[in-house]
Amino acid sequence: MLKFNEDEIKKEVKEVLDLREAIEKCVTKICNDGYENIFIMGIGGTYAVAEEIMAYMKGHTKINLYIENAADLIAEGNTKLGKKSIVIISSDTGRTQEMIDAVKLCKNQASTIIGFVQDKKSPLADLCDSLFAGPGSAYLKILLIMLDFMKENNEFELYDSFYNQMEYLPKGLADVQKSVDSKAEDFAKKHGNDQMHYIIGGGSLKGAAYSYAMCYMEEMLWMRTKSVSAADFFHGTLEIIDRDSNVTLFKGEDGAREQEERVEKFLPRICENITVFDTKEYQMKGIDQKFRDLLTPLIMSAIYARINVHLEKVRRHPMEIRRYYHRLDY
């Protein structure tokens, strides 16, 4: 398989899961001290991660949870942010300027900053009250800490059972990549040079569609896209879809599956250029169906990891290239 390092993939997932003990220590202390609310803050792709988490959390926890775009917090403020606020961030480089500015604003309010920052020698890492360094999925990291907050709030009885099954997650996600590979290759060959990509996802995959379109296709592959939530698809965007429009539907296993099924059922009447990536088609041995809503964005990111590899080849466009990012000041 092209550019596929199974050991690396498994190792990275395992390293995130191994944060369990440190996360629990951090959460226990915060719960003992008391807190009023939690903010998950990001920008661009990390804001999309916050949206993915929120799609699940808002129906499942009574914790006062907010999501914030770093630039919007700076521009607009948020009256709920204060000294009893916990602010959770994630960043690879630890150098995103809007994030640094927004975290400083939070610290001026005496909020507590929990950071999953890959580079521990970075400005963002320096600003964290609790720092978890190292690589791996931002979604998984924030999910783990939020599930711990829920457990402490007596809202997630399956906590131990969840972690027991997560033992199978590293292999499970590697297996997803293997299973989807030939479909991803076909997709890239058929659509790699299309002029426009519509990406649709609902619930936790609304954020996944947003970030796949913007952070991968646009930023790293220079492909034109529009992402739209399954919830809003029937309220505008459908009118621009015709027989030849290239539409990709992300289907997941969370509460929004019915929204996605509605799109899937309607589309063939007006379009013959549809690809569906459905997390349900990809087994992860040892993991029960009851946890697959929580894992839906992770499974989808394993799927699009393979799409990326093949698009990169078909387009002869190494994903490291940027036209403007880190080349120009803005």
Looking at the Cβ atoms of 285 and 323, the one nearer to its own copies is 323
- Is the Cβ of residue 1 or residue 196 nearer to its own copies in the bound state? 196
| Residue-by-residue DSSP string for 269-325 | GT-S-EEEEEGGGS--TT--GGGHHHHHHHHHHHHHHHHHHHHHHHTT--TT--SST
Shortest distance, position 286 Cβ to its own copies, whole Å: 27
In the complex with its own copies, which residue's Cβ is closer, 7 or 76? 76
Question: What 3-state DSSP class applies to 266?
Answer: helix
Burial code (b: 16+ CB inside 10 Å, e: under 16) for 89-101 equals: bbbbebebebbbe
Whole-angstrom Cα distance, residue 146 to residue 27? 9
3-state secondary structure at position 163? helix
Minimum distance, C-beta of residue 59 to its own copies, in the bound complex (Å) = 3
Q: How far is the CB of 130 from its own copies (least distance, A)?
A: 25
- Measured between alpha carbons, how far is 188 from 306 in angstroms, rounded to an integer? 10
- The alpha-carbon radius of gyration of the chain (Å, integer) is 20
Q: Which is nearer to its own copies, 6 or 155 (CB)?
A: 155
> In the complex, what is the shortest distance from the CB of residue 154 to its own copies, in angstroms, rounded to a whole number?
13
Which residue number, 52 or 185, has a Cβ lying nearer to its own copies?
A: 52
Smallest distance, its own copies to C-beta of residue 256, A: 4
58 or 189: CB nearest its own copies: 58
Closest approach of its own copies to the CB of residue 147, in Å: 15
Q: CB-wise, 17 or 276, nearer to its own copies?
A: 276
Which residue's CB is nearer to its own copies, number 29 or number 325? 325
- Distance in Å, CB of 236 to its own copies, minimum: 4
DSSP notation for 171-239: HHHHHHHHHHHHHHHHHHHHHTT-S-EEEEE-THHHHHHHHIIIIIIIHHH---EEEEEHHHHTTTGGG
State the burial class of residue 158 (Cβ atoms within 10 Å of its Cβ: 0-12, 13-18, 19+): middle
DSSP lists the bridge partners of residue 86 as 38, 112
What backbone torsions phi and psi does residue 66 show, to the nearest 5 degrees? -130, 150
Interface with its own copies by CB under 8 A: which residues?
43-45, 47, 55-56, 58-62, 69-72, 75-80, 98, 195-196, 202-203, 211, 214-215, 218-220, 222-226, 228-232, 234-240, 242, 254-256, 258-259, 262, 265-266, 269-270, 322-325, 328, 330
Q: How far is the CB of 79 from its own copies (least distance, A)?
A: 5
| Contact assessment for residue 35 and residue 149, using Cβ atoms and an 8 Å cutoff | no
Kind plus residue range of the DSSP H or E element containing 48: helix 45-57
